[in-house]
Amino acid sequence: MRVSLAKKWCLLVILFVVLPALAPAQQLEPVIMGVVGLSTNSIHPFISREAGLFSKYGIDARLVVFDGGSTLAQAAISGEVKFANTSGPVSISSRSAGADRIIVAAHINILPYSLIAAKGITRWEQLKGKRIAISRFGSGTDTAVRLVLEKFGLNPDKDVTILQLGPQTTRFSALVSGSTDATLVAPPFDVTAKKQGYPILADMAALRIPYAQQVIETSDRMIREQPQTVKNVLKGFVAGLNYGFVNSAPTKKIMVKYLKVDDPEILDRTYQHYTEITERKPYPNVEGVRYAVEEVAKRVPAARGKQPQDFINLRFLNELDKEGFFKELSK
């Protein structure tokens, strides 16, 4: 079963890896990184690559987009996806189930979504009996919607029907067509929804709920056998985080290219969202990881009793910190 899956997604790599790195390939180490979805929440590795920052540190980053965290997790467990830009709950679920996946950085430590609803739904109690779309069961959107429903007094298992419909473009289209009654989105879709008259029931980023939302994970084996590769990947990635903050114009161009944003207002909001949710120094928030572990444990019994430290390896961030890497970036 896994061999078959690996073959299928290897074909996707050949078809969908976007643009080679800027430096000559023979001088760089090719590394496949899986990316969950394509939104403001997952634009970060594309910024690093387009700005030449992976190649600066010797990495030919080959980015492959998956439509959900659970799908990406299967490809990562197969062993060919060496790094994943995924959600914390997916990484926690994988490791709890026995996979050797481990979080080495966390660049979004809050819930970054907006919950938008069909026209006419303006209060939380109106969601009772309604359908809410997520990407995949077990994904970050699944966890996020359950948390926010509970925060506002609704039982996600009894009061609503949760549908898995794939990426947010598909989910938004389902909302417009009436196939679902609400969904989670990240900019630019929250602005688009508001312009078209769809109510925003919650801006989760404004609530600042600590959460291991978006992380970089690799494997214990990579850390043992290729520690310098792990460190170089993190250098390029972290440099890209900081690049996005100080180079707004080229960063917006990258967002236009990959997120297909052409409305200036929506583009400005998308970039603003990036600066609001992104960590320049991507240490995981321990409380946010604890919250994610507790939520995952409700569905994955093997996660019960686990501590945040069971899912995090800070070796490389600590090394970069000690070497002054973050200070150099801040200059």
- In order along its 331 residues, the chain shows pLDDT tens digits of 343 444 444 444 433 444 444 444 458 999 999 998 888 889 999 999 999 999 999 999 999 998 777 788 888 888 889 999 999 999 999 999 999 999 999 999 998 889 999 999 999 999 999 999 998 887 778 878 988 898 889 999 999 999 999 888 899 999 999 999 999 988 777 888 888 999 999 888 888 888 999 999 999 999 999 999 999 999 999 999 999 999 999 999 999 999 888 889 889 989 999 999 999 999 999 999 998 998 889 889 999 999 999 999 999 999 999 999 999 998 7
For the chain, the domains span: 2-111+210-330, 114-207
Q: What one-character-per-residue DSSP string does 54-94 give? A: HHHTTEEEEEEEESSHHHHHHHHHTT---EEEE-HHHHHHH
Decide whether 2-111+210-330 matches 114-207 in CATH topology. Answer: yes
Cα distance between residue 111 and residue 154, in whole Å: 18
Token output for 66: 């998956």
Backbone torsions φ then ψ of 140, nearest 5 degrees:
-65, -35
CATH of domain 2-111+210-330: 3.40.190.10
CATH class of the domain comprising 114-207:
alpha beta
The residue behind tokens 């688009």 is: 192
Calculate the alpha carbon distances from 152 to 139, 149, 159, 166, 251 in Å.
21, 5, 12, 25, 35
Rg of the Cα trace of the chain? 19
What count of other Cβ atoms lies within 10 Å of the Cβ of residue 53?
A: 24
